[in-house]
Amino acid sequence: MRSFLHLTLYICLLSYFLVIHTACNSNDSEESKDSSPSILQQLASNNPDERLQALQKAQKMGEKAEFALKNISDILQDKEENLQVRKAAVRALFKIGSAAFPYLKEAAKSQDGTTQSLAVKGVGMFASSKSFPPEVLQILAEALKSKNSDVCSEAAEALSEYKVLPKSLVVSFQETAKDEHWQIRKVTATALGRIQEEESLFILLALLKDSDWRVRMAVVESIGRIKTISLPSISELILTLEDSDKRVQMYTLDALKMVMKAIEKSSHQFQTSKEAFSVLFRALGHEQGHRRKVSYDVLCLSQIPEDISLDNLINSLVSSFSQARSLSKKFLAKIYISNPNVLSLLEEELSRRTDPQEKKYIQETIDYIKK
C-alpha cells in the first residue's frame, strides 16, 4: 500500500513539473512573439534612448532576436546615428550569433571608416568564440591593410587574441609595425607573438627600439612567447634589461626566464654578444635580487668566450649585496674551469684594489676557486 502511495505521489509531482516546464516554454515563446513588434517599433523610434533600449533587449534575447537583424544592421551602418547606439548594435549582432555574421561581413566593406571599424570589431568578437566562421581571419587580415587607423587597430586587436596565427600575416604586420599610432604598434607586437615563426622576430626586434615603452613591453612579452627564438634575439632581449623604463625591464626578466626554459629543455648552450654579457655581469650586482638570480641562470646557459672582459663581473664581486657577491664568485669559478687565466686576473685585481673590504671579497673568491 505504501509503495502504491509513493508511486502515485511521484507521478503527481512529475506531472506537475511537466506542466510547469511546458508553461515556461510557452511563456518564453509568447514573450518572444510579443516583444517582436515592440522591439521593431523602438528600433524605428526617433528617440536614441529608445533605440538603445531595444538593442539591449535584443542582446538579452540572443538568437531569438533574429527577426530584427535587418533593422539592427541598418542602425550600425547609419552614419548619422549616435555612436553609442551603433556600438550597441554591434554587441546585439554578436549576441544574435552566426545568423548576424553576414551583416557584419558586409558592413566591414563599408567606405565609411566608423562603420567599417565597428563592423571589424564585431567580426573580431567572433574570433574569441568557440566556433567562429572561417572568413573571420580573412576579413581581419584584409582590415589590417586599411589606411584608417581605427579599422587597422580593431583588426590587430582582434588578431592578437588568437593563440596561433598563420605565417602569411607577417607581411601585413610589417606595415602596421610602422604605424604612427603607438596603440597599433603595440597590438601588432602582441599579435606577432602568436606567430610561431622566426620571420616575426625580425619585426619584433625592430619594434624593440620603439619610442613608446608600452610597445617595447609588448615586444618583450611576445619574444618570450616564441619558441623558436634566434640567438641574435636573445642578445637583444638581454640588452633590454637596461631599458630606460623599469616596467619594460621587469617584463624582460620574465621573457628571459621563458626563453631559458626552452634552451634548458634543448640541452644546448647559447652564444650571445659581448655587450649582452656586460649587461648580465652588471645585473649580477643589481640591487634587485630577482634580477641577479635570472641573470645568473642566463649566464649559466651561455658559452663564455675567452676574450670576454670580466670588469663588470668583478665589480659585482665586490658589491655590497651578499647574493651578488655569492653569484659572481660561483660564476667566476665556472669560468675558471675553461679559462684558468681567471685566477691571475683576480690576483692582479687584488693588487690594484685599495679598499680593505673589496680586497677581502676578491681574496675569498681566489681561495674559493683554488679549492
What's the CA gap between 108 and 119, in Å, rounded?
A: 5
Q: Is residue 61 part of a domain?
A: yes
Helix (H, G, I), strand (E, B) or coil at 270: strand
How many domains, in total, are found in the chain?
A: 1
The conformation of residue 333, written as its DSSP 8-state character, comes to H
* Cell numbers given for 201: 622576430
Q: Flag whether 291 is in a domain.
A: no
With a cut of 90, say whether residue 359 has pLDDT above it: yes
The CB-based long-range contact list for 43-48 (8 Å cut-off, 24+ gap) reads 43/68, 43/71, 43/72, 43/75, 44/71, 48/81, 48/82, 48/84, 48/85
Cell numbers at residue 208, please?
624593440
Predicted local distance difference test score (pLDDT) of residue 132: 64
pLDDT for 268: 66
The whole-number pLDDT of residue 304 equals 83
Is 231 among the domain residues? no
Average pLDDT value for residue range 141-158: 86
Whether the per-residue pLDDT at 231 is higher than 70: the answer is: no
Domain containing residue 104 = 50-159
Beta pairing partners, 302: 270
Please give the pLDDT value at position 8. Answer: 53
Band the pLDDT of 131: cuts 50, 70, 90. Answer: low
More confidently predicted of 126 and 279: 279
Q: How far from each other are the two terminal CA atoms of the chain, in whole angstroms?
A: 93
Radius of gyration of the CA atoms of the chain, in A: 31
State residue 104's pLDDT score: 93
pLDDT confidence bin for 266, thresholds 50/70/90 = low
CATH no. for residue 57?
1.25.10.10
Cβ–Cβ under 8 Å, residues 157 and 166: no
Is residue 114 assigned to a domain? yes
141 against 265, higher pLDDT:
141
For 35-49, write each residue's pLDDT tens digit. Answer: 566 889 998 999 999
Instruction: Look at residue 67 and tell me if it is in a domain.
Output: yes
Q: Identify the pLDDT of residue 27.
A: 44
Residue 350 CA to residue 358 CA, distance in Å, equals 8
In a domain, 193, yes or no: no
Distances from the Cα of 80 to the Cα of 75, 77, 85, 86, 115, angstroms = 9, 9, 11, 10, 11
Q: What's the pLDDT score for residue 217?
A: 96
Indicate the range of 12-16, 226-230, 240-244, 284-288 predicted with least confidence. 12-16
Question: What span, in angstroms and rounded, lies between the C-alpha atoms of 254 and 225?
Answer: 10
pLDDT in the model for residue 253:
94
Per-residue pLDDT at 127: 74
Does this model's pTM top 0.75? My answer is: no
* CB within 8 Å of 163: residues ≥ 6 apart: 194
Q: How far apart are CA 273 and CA 232, in angstroms?
A: 8
pLDDT > 90 in the chain, percent = 51
Q: Please answer whether residues 155 and 143 qualify as being in contact, where contact means their C-beta atoms are separated by less than 8 angstroms.
A: yes
In a domain, 330, yes or no: no
- The answer to whether the beta carbons of residues 78 and 48 sit under 8 Å apart is no
Instruction: Report the pLDDT value the prediction gives residue 36, as an integer from 0 to 100.
Output: 62
Q: Mean per-residue pLDDT for 199-217?
A: 92
Nine-digit cell string for 365:
673568491
Average of per-residue pLDDT values in the chain:
84
Residue 34 has pLDDT above 50, yes or no: no
Q: Does any domain span residue 243? A: no
- Tell me what pLDDT residue 50 has: 92
**85: its cell numbers:** 547606439
Query: What are the grid coordinates assigned to 218, written together?
Result: 609588448
pLDDT on residue 258: 87
Q: Are 226 and 201 in contact (CB under 8 A)?
A: yes
